[in-house]
A and B are shown apart, each in its own frame.
Chain A
């Protein structure tokens, strides 16, 4: 049995007296498609922040591709192949859409390659990614001119630009129409077929069920279910805490 790509061990995080995450264990195998669901405030984004290094976990450890990444700062984890999109899109407002995509290309991909990537190649990879999310016609626009939906796509594209081994998509589909949700799910599945492991955090159950090979449920900072999607949604605790409402 091969080692998991991402291994989270007994991870805990508290804010003052509030326990946001309580001894979370999580293992994600390479190539897996994992869905992470749970009510608002259950700690999903906190978990993502701890995994990616934006927040420091109090106890527990995280390892990626076999190595512990506990001491690494966020950008180092991104360079190792861990990328995430933010729940509330955070585009760089002083740049165009295309330039936003260029940043991870310049700083993660080029750094990993160890050599200078030519401007032409960066530009073409940029346009490729924008085409993937259907934003190529807005390449020269400022993020301020994008709709909410387009900003979410930009957020996702920017995370993909870092050419990650593991991509964590944090509620990337909120506010999208039915067909747009299907498009994004299809896109993510295509990425997964290319070898990218994906953790999808979502509230849109239809998308989660279509996408996930495994479902993890977080409630009040605790993991209450972890298994096949069809089994998990039938779980009494899950229905009581989240689905049954």
Chain B
């Protein structure tokens, strides 16, 4: 299937989903659905670096939080524009702020992508293991900086007040849901494009045998940096609307370890070799967690995720997609 057609079908499914939720009429499905969509983006983003290249990122929370806190930063700047900017600029700032959410998303993506680039440059020339530990280090260092940065709220946290309603749609959450749907389309399309391109081959050689890849002429460092930037940027974009979704952001929730675990567990359970795997994992685990949080407890649902991760990693390393492929007995790659 050619890419434009793929995008078209995604829009069809997205529109159908949106229509269904509107029909149900309960705001809760939008809130819960948003979380699942967010997971699809995070899982797909993680998989670009983790599944395709074989480089594990433990710091997904860091990139996600970068997106969230870029939003908070720009929001706060907008709120305090009169204090920050000179009088003469009042007209300009009045026009720019408050920045629309799509702009914030792009900005969050850029910030996260840039940080990914910097960190990648520091650690990607070393073994994959050091990169993984480096990502963990990055998340903690970022969190410590945010905790000590009072402009974005520090450890007290920051409030972001979204509008209650939005034109055409009604409840603001539906607007957020729509934007996240768009991000899912972007993420899935990116992943699928990579898979089918020369870049995808390059990533696979890095995963299989980096030394041999270099000997074949593959510029491994450059490709790894591309993967890190793409992955980080997508995660940042997923995080950018978060403050508007939740209203109050403090470092603990933005940098929560569950983001790291979920963004690893979902692709590994769903399947790391193709674009659909992380999506499948995200939908399954996302809904499972929504149910568990409501019925048992939020700690228990994380336990389930952790156990499933360990179980799948040992027993079914190619995830659900892998199991299905084995069952069909055929190969996907042409």
Q: Is chain B in direct contact with chain A in the complex (CB below 8 A)?
A: yes
Minimal Cβ-Cβ distance residue in A for B214: A74
Assess the A75–B212 pair: CB atoms within 8 A: no
- Chain B proximity of A103: nearest CB distance (Å): 5
Is there a chain B Cβ closer than 8 Å to A158's Cβ? yes
Q: Per-residue 0/1 for B202-229: is the Cβ within 8 Å of any A Cβ (1 yes, 0 no)? A: 1011011101111111111100000000
Assess the A78–B215 pair: CB atoms within 8 A: yes
Is there a chain B Cβ closer than 8 Å to A94's Cβ? yes
Assess the B333–A96 pair: CB atoms within 8 A: yes
Assess the B211–A54 pair: CB atoms within 8 A: yes
Assess the B217–A92 pair: CB atoms within 8 A: no
Assess the A86–B219 pair: CB atoms within 8 A: no
Assess the B216–A162 pair: CB atoms within 8 A: yes
Assess the A94–B204 pair: CB atoms within 8 A: yes
- Chain B proximity of A105: nearest CB distance (Å): 9
- Chain A proximity of B148: nearest CB distance (Å): 39
Is there a chain A Cβ closer than 8 Å to B31's Cβ? no
Assess the A104–B217 pair: CB atoms within 8 A: yes
Interface of B: prevailing SS: helix
A213 to B202, CA, bound (A): 37
Q: Per-residue 0/1 for A72-93: is the Cβ within 8 Å of any B Cβ (1 yes, 0 no)? A: 0111101100011010001111
- Which one of A53, A54, A107 lies within 8 Å of B216 (CB-CB)? A107
Is there a chain A Cβ closer than 8 Å to B127's Cβ? no
Which residues of chain A come closer than 8 Å to B220, judged between CB atoms?
75
Q: Per-residue 0/1 for B6-37: is the Cβ within 8 Å of any A Cβ (1 yes, 0 no)? A: 00000000000000000000000000000000
Assess the A107–B208 pair: CB atoms within 8 A: no
Assess the A79–B208 pair: CB atoms within 8 A: no
Which residues of chain B come closer than 8 Å to A86, judged between CB atoms?
212, 215
Assess the B212–A95 pair: CB atoms within 8 A: no
- Which one of B211, B213, B217, B273 lies within 8 Å of A79 (CB-CB)? B217
- Chain B proximity of A120: nearest CB distance (Å): 14
Q: Known pairs A102-B201, A103-B213, A106-B201. 11 more at Cβ < 8 A?
A: A53-B214, A74-B214, A75-B216, A75-B217, A78-B217, A86-B212, A92-B212, A92-B213, A93-B208, A104-B216, A107-B217
Q: Could you give 14 example pairs across A and B, Cβ below 8 Å? A: A53-B214, A74-B215, A75-B216, A75-B219, A91-B209, A91-B212, A92-B209, A92-B213, A94-B208, A102-B201, A104-B217, A107-B202, A159-B215, A162-B216
B binding-site residues for A, Cβ under 8 Å: 198, 201-202, 204-205, 207-209, 211-221, 273, 333
A binding-site residues for B, Cβ under 8 Å: 52-54, 73-76, 78-79, 83-84, 86, 90-96, 99, 102-104, 106-108, 110-111, 158-159, 161-162
